[in-house]
Structure 1
Amino acid sequence: MEKREGQQKKIAQDANGEWTKAALGFARGQGVDPEKLIFKEVNGTDYVFAETFKHGRDTAELLVEFKGVITGLTFAKNMRWNTYDMRFARPIRWLAALYGEEIIPFTITDIETGRQTKGHRFLGSEIELTNPLNYEETLLAEFVIADPEKRKATILAQLKEIERTHDWVIPVDEALLDEVTNLVEYPTALHGTFEEIYLDLPKEVLITTMREHQRYFPVETTEGTLQPFFITVRNGNNNELENVARGNEKVLRARLADAAFFYHEDQKRSIEELNIKLDKIVFHESIGTTGEKVARTKELALWLADEVGLGNESKESLNRAATLAKFDLVTNMVGEFPELQGQMGQDYASKAGESAETALAIFEQYLPRFAGDRTPSSDSGAILSIADKLDTIVSCFAIGLIPTGSQDPYALRRQAAGIVQTLLDRNISITITSLVDFALEQVQKKGFMSTDVETTREELNRFFISRLKYLMVEQGYRYDLVDAVLAAPLVDVYTVFAKAKVLSEEVVQAGFKEIIEALSRVTNLARKADDGASVLEELFENETETSLLTSTVRVEFNLVQAWEQNDAYAAYHALAECRSTINEFFEHTMVMTDNDAVRTNRLALLKRLAASIHSYADFQQIVFAA
């Protein structure tokens, strides 16, 4: 039985109790006779409802439609086979589909469903399934662990055993673990070795070579020193593991030889020589070259350094890091392993004699690289990271490349989140609007902007606010408290989060609701005040007006002091202390009096206090349980 809600009763029936056209249309749309419409009370109001009965379908009949689930699957990389139009991760060779002991009949390409499946390619055999309940057990007998979580647990247990046996530490990359889990049916972990000479290469190069090319896990000591061993996971049992290890060692040896060649070849060219090549690499056809992007990023970074008062020594390091920020993009190593950008820049810059702070900033410009990743640890790295990401975002918005829905090919959401997180972690005292304004001004000067400036500015501010909101809710702040804080004029990110933290702690305190009601009463009435109206004390008619003005002045002073100390608690309590004065004012004062001058003056008084209140949050956004 399904119930669909329609119009309110007063709309559904006329004064004579007859159905209106609206109700008749609702009944027709639901496929029911108007006389079968019923009324039901919802939150104190009667609404018309249509009740319909939908007959169930036989399970076996529904399961045939599972074909659409299979053919509707999408993968990062699809393929076609034979002459079929269908695209899938791999060619479909057989389909086992059972409901109880019965086959669920459907066909994909020219493969019909049946009860036959196959075990491990080399160790197993063809199986005829008699009952789906025995599926996992039957496949396990043929060397296939069907449940991916059980396969993952098996791999982890084997890695732990190898660690225990050899007193090693095997760092487990979760993405690699998931990939390996889905590459094997019957996992068996084993270890191999490589020549110690390759340990002269940077640790990141070795790990990336093993992970990306071979899906190997590295081995470290308990102190974190990389060892000349690797762990691989075989799709099979433990027979002839020595031969398997030798084969993997041979392949890895070739990979590491390539990496060593790239690494040493890169260092035969100077950083300046590599940097010049960026002028010939297109970042985006409508935006310009990577060299031009580096110049814009440098301009942004140096401006931001001045804004936050970066010291001269750090500013020199930042200037150099911004100049060399992308030189490693044209190296052989980054060409082979793009994920090493920044890391190779740091390594090569250090070897070329650049300062430690400069080299570190070249790496840290890419931080954070993903959700939960660390943010830059140095001032120059943080500023360069913000500038680089900001230029990418603003440049893309300037030519209309704005993320929509699930489409975000340039990862602008991730980069915006990275800016917000860096501003928060480093407590950098600058507003998002200031960053957007300066970056937009610089892009406009470069002449490639194809969108309206003011519209783009609004879109950028909304975009960053949405990222702020996402991160705040993700960190556990209530959505209504987040909305309240973000509805106020935007300040620096650290202060925005500090306000949300204060409200999250105060919302459970006794008297919070009464405080918010008093503050909201002020801001609600203040909307009726005339723009530009001043508060004239000579028009006051009672002591509560004088008290409210005194309290307003005190609040303004206390807020200034609180924010000078970055004290969001003190700022909130400066407002909260007004509660009794506000209540007394409204108890003894008629704001909307017939006297125009007095009414205007009282509204102006409320508007002045409301400005201080709204500078903290829009408290009317806060939701209280009934």
Structure 2
Amino acid sequence: MSSHNTADLLVEIGTEELPPAALAKLSTAFCDGLLKGLDDARLAHGSGQAFASPRRLAVILSQVALAQPDEQVARRGPALKAAFNAEGAPTKAALGFAQSCGVAVDSLEQEETEKGAWLCYRQQVIGKPAAALLPELIDAALAALPIPKRMRWGNSHVEFVRPVHWVCVLLGDSVIPGQVLGIEIDRLTRGHRFHHPDAVRLSSAADYLSALRGAYVEADLAARRSAILEQVASLAAEAGGAAMIDESVLDEVTALCEWPVALLGRFDPGFLEVPSEVLIETMQANQKYFPVVDRSGSLLPFFITVSNIQSRDPDQVRAGNERVIRPRFADAKFFWEQDLKTPLGERVGALQGIVFQHKLGTLLEKTERVAELSAWIAEVIGGDSSQTRHAARLAKADLVTLMVGEFGSLQGVMGRYYAERSGEAPIVAAAIEQHYWPKHAGDHLPETDLARAVAIADRADTLVGIFAIGLRPTGVKDPYGLRRAAIGVLRILIETPLALDLRVLFERAAAGFPASLNAAGCVDEVLGYCVERLKRYYADAGDDRSADADVIASVLALDLSEPVDIDRRIQAVQHFRGRPEASALAAANKRTRNILRKVSADEIGRQVEQALLQDVAEQSLAMAVDTLSDKVTGLLDQHDYNAALAELSSLRQALDDFFDQVMVMADEPEIRANRLALLKRIETLFHGVADISLLQG
């Protein structure tokens, strides 16, 4: 779309095959960078649309101004009193300013302001044409792309993520003159590498998508993704099933194709004897195939591959993919059959040959620590300690199998299969897989207390051990996954829920390490690290558990260490802040805190003496506190923090009257101490839930 003053802008950078994992991010960043460049250059524009394929990054920006607007530039010079001497002759300051502006002193104007009078130079600056500005703007946008490592090619000193072969820039139907990344700008683009290797001449920016589609290139990433989904779903239905769509695989396949053509392949049904997770992992991770399952979710002997070519003989392409998958499945079947020859329990000793961390010993030593710790956790949460200890001893045994050696992501999953085949109890077999849960944000949690105990113990042992040897995570570096481990422990304890104190847990874990390591010395640090992760936990939580930062701070200020209790308090305070009394009570608590901080413990009375209560307001407050105290304490003992805060909310008026009418810091020491004791008693009651003085208005 164009007018006399605007035109659509097309920018396309043609490259060697771009990294598929980064394609969408680079495409979006390129569009955003160009829009920002136009804004900084004062070139008006409409919306932008990003396009990308393996061999191109492109952007179409609508209604781009053909030139900058004209602009009046004003420069202020010296003050008039410094610009001219007593005789009215210009001083060196005035002469120098005029010279810097390229005019005579007589051409300068005077500007009157509230602060005085000044020499001033005004100039009408004609806006530059967009065509003159665009090459530099495009280069700047490309230079700002999030590319961790750039490369050079040929004899050029230009650097980019991949070698660049062409640059097409059209403003309306006009080619922008100049160079980008050292390549002369043209109106030529390229079609599909095989179907249409010749150059494609574009008459205008508006022709871009249709011209490329005619050359077997779908440049719209979203449209290409939708086309793949549609083709894959159709072929899966033909095979009598549905395709398993892994979003990361779909994104990668979309980024690898310019003209996607899906094909249905078949494999020997005999391979279905191997656990489906192995076959699925092979298809998705290694081959970027889409597996096909029946209505019950069971794997069918089909797969769908997406080719970047519309072959004249699709059967040949299909047969080629079937030939590739066959030896991979054959290897998996061999691993499966060989692994089954040794019961899982007999593999535990082999963990002695795998180093967990050279200062922390082998995986066998870790396994023994985790077994004892998980048994103790089981006792605390009411589980079967003997069975839990047994499951923990088997939990890592699949790491020495052939299958997990080839498919590391299936650790735990294969342990479950091998445990079942070894005759282990179903709950033990399930725990072997589930002790790795949750693997990532939003992942499901272990389903039994046995699995939860092993999962917590495994993570606690890692946290304490790694901190003990001084390898706390710094910045983005977290090679032992301690952030994930901490969040995992918190999620299990809070969302199950389980009443387990982190300090006690970490002290128990530390006791499992050799005394020479002094693991006990890092318990406070590990505890602080996990409590700090709570902030991230609530930031990522859904609406049913999210909490404001000041609410979290009000609870964490009490130095608590039982996550499920912390969560109950946070949820109660989050609900409390919606009450009409909350703001006034928070302010009163803040005032109470500030007063008590300024006095020593010796200045506060040990208890509130009724005989020393002089004013009506303090008598009323003390009576209200007496009335509430036992009831609130009972509610706190039951961890009913919502009800406790509801009761404490009734103190609002009495507290307001107290602070309005009573001088806390009375001259008489005994009266002052008694009033401080009353405030201390109120603070203690509120601190049974949280320090609500930290709540913001």
Q: Do they fold alike, i.e. is TM over 0.5?
A: yes
Higher relative contact order (CA 8 A, sep 6+): 2
TM-score (norm: length of structure 2) = 0.74
Q: 2:572 aligned to 497, 502, 507, which one?
A: 502
Shift of 1:512: 3.4
Deviation of the 1:156 alpha carbon: 1.6
- Structure 1 distance, partners of 2:156, 2:579, is 66
Name the counterpart of 1:184.
Answer: 257
Structure 1: which amino acid aligns with 2:425? S
CA distance, structure 2, for counterparts of residue 76 and residue 262 of structure 1 = 38
1:15-414 matches, cutoff 5 A: 60-61=132-133, 63-64=135-136, 66-67=138-139, 69-70=141-142, 73=145, 90-98=162-170, 101-103=174-176, 105-106=178-179, 108=181, 114-125=186-197, 126-237=199-310, 239-308=312-381, 310-311=382-383, 314-414=384-484
Show CA shifts across 1:401-437 (max 9, x none).
3333333333322222222111122111123343344
Q: Which runs of 5+ in 1 are unaligned?
A: 3-34, 40-53
Quote the offset at 1:36 in angstroms: 11
Q: Quick one: which of 461, 464, 486 aligns to 2:533? A: 464
Q: Which residue of 1 aligns with 2:28?
A: none
Q: Partner of 1:562 in structure 2?
A: 635
State which drifts further: 354-363 or 279-288.
279-288
Q: Equivalences for 1:421-460 in 2 at 5 Å?
A: 421-440=491-510, 442-443=512-513, 445=515, 447=517, 453=522, 456-457=525-526, 459-460=528-529
Amino acid at match of 2:533: F
Shift of residue 550, structure 1, vs aligned partner: 4.9
* Displacement of 1:473: 8.1
Cα distance in 2 between the residues matched to 1:55 and 1:351: 82
Given that residues 342 and 366 in structure 1 are in contact (C-alpha distance below 8 angstroms), is that contact kept between their aligned partners in structure 2? Answer: yes
Q: Using the alignment, how far apart are the partners of 2:158 and 2:470 within structure 1?
A: 34
Q: Specify the code of the residue in structure 2 equivalent to 1:523.
A: R
Contact 2:527 2:561 in 1 (8 A): no
* In structure 2, distance between residues paired with 1:575 and 1:168: 60
- Where do 1:604-619 residues align within 5 Å? 604-619=677-692
Partner Cα separation in structure 2 for residue 399 and residue 80 of structure 1: 42
Q: Is the 8 A contact 1:394 1:460 kept in 2?
A: no
Q: Which runs of 5+ in 2 are unaligned?
A: 1-38, 41-110, 116-124
Q: Is contact 1:481-1:622 (8 Å) kept?
A: yes
Q: CA shift at 1:329, angstroms?
A: 1.2
Q: State the distance in 2 between where 1:341 and 1:87 align.
A: 41
Q: Within 2, Cα distance between the matches of 1:402 and 1:619?
A: 32
Deviation by residue 1:92-149 (Cα, 9 ceiling, x = unmatched): 44444555533474465x7655443322121123223443443222222111111211
Q: 2 CA distance for matches of 1:392 and 1:315?
A: 21
Question: What's the CA shift for 1:339?
Answer: 0.7
Question: Please, which moves more after superposition, 596-605 or 561-570?
Answer: 561-570
Alpha-carbon RMSD across the aligned residues, in angstroms, is: 3.5
CA contact (8 A) 1:188 1:233 kept: yes
Structure 1 pair 56–168 and aligned structure 2 pair: CA distance change class (3 A): farther
* Native 8 Å contact 1:120 1:144 kept in 2: yes
Instruction: Judge conservation of contact 2:311–2:317 (CA < 8 Å) in 1.
Output: no
Q: Which residue does the alignment assign to 2:693? A: 620
Residue aligned with 1:249, SS = helix
In structure 2, the CA distance between the partners of 1:550 and 1:333, relative to structure 1 (3 Å rule), is farther
CA spacing shift, 1:603–1:277, aligned 2, 3 Å: same
Q: Are the aligned partners of 1:180 and 1:233 in contact in 2 as well (CA < 8 Å)? A: yes
**Once the two structures are aligned, what percentage of the paired residues are identical?**
34
The answer to whether the 8 A contact 1:530-1:600 is kept is: no
Q: Partners in 2 of 1:397 and 1:106 — Cα distance?
A: 54
Provide the C-alpha distance between the structure 1 equivalents of 2:336 and 2:518, rounded to a whole number of angstroms. 37
**Equivalent position to 1:577, from 639, 644, 650:** 650
CA distance in 2, matches of 1:300, 1:182: 47
- Change in Cα spacing, 1:558 to 1:297, as seen in structure 2 (3 Å) is farther
Contact 1:529 1:607 in 2 (8 A): no
Secondary structure of the residue that 1:577 maps to in structure 2? helix
d(CA) in 2 for partners of 1:558 and 1:279? 57
Counterpart selection for 1:481 from 532, 545, 551: 551
Cα drift, residue 618 of structure 1: 2.5
Q: Is this contact kept in 2: 1:526–1:604, CA < 8 A?
A: no
Structure 2 vs 1, CA of residues 67 and 529 (structure 1 numbering), >3 Å: closer, same or farther?
A: same
How far is the alpha carbon of 1:570 from its aligned partner? Answer: 1.2
- What's the TM-score once normalised by structure 1's chain length? 0.82
> Once structures 1 and 2 are overlaid, which stretch shifts more, 372-381 or 232-241?
232-241
Query: 1: distance between equivalents of 2:505 and 2:335?
Result: 39
Q: Structure 1 residues 138 and 411, CA, compared in 2 at 3 Å: closer, same or farther?
A: farther
Judge conservation of contact 1:129–1:135 (CA < 8 Å) in 2: yes
Amino acid of the structure 1 residue aligned with 2:337:
H
Q: Residues of 2 paired with 1:371 and 1:405: CA distance?
A: 19
Aligned-partner Cα distance in 1 for 2:113–2:679: 51
Distance (Å, rounded) in 1 between the aligned partners of 2:499 and 2:112: 64
Alpha carbons of 1:66 and 1:396: their partners in 2 closer, same or farther (altered >3 Å)? Answer: farther
Q: Which amino acid aligns with 1:61?
A: L
Please tell me the residue identity of whatever aligns with 2:553.
D
Paired residue type of 1:464? R
Q: Comparing 614-623 with 457-466, which one deviates more in the overlay?
A: 457-466
Q: Which amino acid aligns with 2:646?
A: H
Q: Give the corresponding residue for 1:18.
A: none
Residues 205 and 588 of structure 1: is their aligned pair in 2 closer, same or farther, counting only changes over 3 Å? same
Contact 1:473/1:479 (CA < 8 Å) preserved in 2?
Answer: no
* Residues 520-531 of structure 1 aligned to structure 2 (within 5 Å): 520-531=590-601
| Structure 1 Cα separation of the partners of residues 541 and 254 of structure 2 | 34
What displacement does 1:448 show?
A: 7.2
CA contact (8 A) 2:169 2:185 kept: yes
Distance in 2 separating the partners of 1:229 and 1:391: 43
CA distance in 2, matches of 1:330, 1:71: 47
Deviation of 1:80 after TM superposition, in Å, equals 7.5
* 1:372 alignment partner AA: G
Deviations, residues 50-98 of structure 1 (Å, cap 9, x unaligned): xxxx999875536425445545656689877668898866544444455
Q: What do residues 572-618 of structure 1 show as CA deviations (whole Å, max 9, x unaligned)?
A: 21321322332343344321111122212211221122122123223
Structure 2 CA distance for aligned equivalents of residues 171 and 97 of structure 1:
40
Residues 287, 466 of structure 1: alpha-carbon distance in 2 compared, 3 angstrom cutoff: farther
